Amino acid sequence: MSKGMSETGYLSDEELDNGPGIPSEGRRRRGPVAVLECIQDIPCNPCEASCPEGAIQVGEDITNLPHLLEEKCIGCQSCLPVCPGQAIFLVDESSTEDVSRVTMPYEFLPLPEKEETVIALDRAGQELGDTTVIRVRKTDKMDHTALVTIEVPKEWSMRTRAFKLKR
């Protein structure tokens, strides 16, 4: 088994496969869905309350891991900016083209602009390659956490978790 998150700081493939918040490939192909990369029993539950569909379950013990009920998730992104651990992403693999969309929280300035080319990074910060920014959202309710959507080759959709600007 490869080294896990407690040694490297990022999820191993095994941990990703076993996470209770990770949607199946079938669900990802049907449209945008939340990916909850939270596998440690820390006391936290804002994601549960943020979901208008009841698709995230933590339960009374707030150290429980968040479970994703993937059929209930409508991909609305409400949970992304409220996660203090920035551990929630939105993945959309529904395109018939060979591309997927990944939405992630972003707390750096300057923000990228729509259609800007940025470098996709994986969980370990390794460069995957150039990608295009599709959308940048920042509202008062999101409290300074922007959501940035980038378009990546389909095989990167479960690997891309950050990006860096080229400028």
Partner 1 sequence: MRRCEMISVGAGPAGLAAATEAARNGVEVLVFDENDRPGGQLFKQIHKFFGSEEHHAKERGFDIGYGFLEEAEKLGVEVSLSSVVMGIYENRTMNVLIRDRIEQVRAEKILVATGASENMIPFPGWTLPGIIGAGAAQTIANIHGIKPGENLLMVGSGNVGLVVAYQMLQAGCQVSAIIDAAPRIGGYEVHAAKVARYGVPFFMSHTITEAGGEKWIESATISQVDKEWKPIPGTEKKFELDTVCIAVGLNPMTQLLDMLSCKMVPVPSLGGRVPAHDLGQETSIPGIYVAGDSSGIEEASTAIIEGRIAGLAIAHSLGYIDDSSFLEQRDRQFKSMVGLRSGSHGEARKIAKEYINAVMKG
**Which residues of the shown chain bind partner 1 in the complex (CB under 8 A)?**
5-11, 37-46, 49, 61-63, 82-87, 107-108, 121-126, 143-145, 161-162, 164
How many Å is the maximal CA-CA distance in the chain?
46
How far apart CA 105 and CA 1 sit, in angstroms, is 29
Of 33, 1, 3, 40, the residue nearest 19 (C-alpha)? 40
Q: How far is the CB of 45 from partner 1 (least distance, A)?
A: 5
> Which residue, 23 or 66, is less far from partner 1 as judged by CB?
66
Q: How far is the CB of 148 from partner 1 (least distance, A)?
A: 13
Q: Is the separation of the CB atoms in 73 and 23 below 8 Å?
A: yes
> Which residue, 72 or 164, is less far from partner 1 as judged by CB?
164
Q: Is the separation of the CB atoms in 68 and 22 below 8 Å?
A: yes
> Which residue, 9 or 54, is less far from partner 1 as judged by CB?
9
How far apart CA 23 and CA 27 sit, in angstroms, is 6
Q: How far is the CB of 117 from partner 1 (least distance, A)?
A: 18
Q: How far is the CB of 155 from partner 1 (least distance, A)?
A: 18
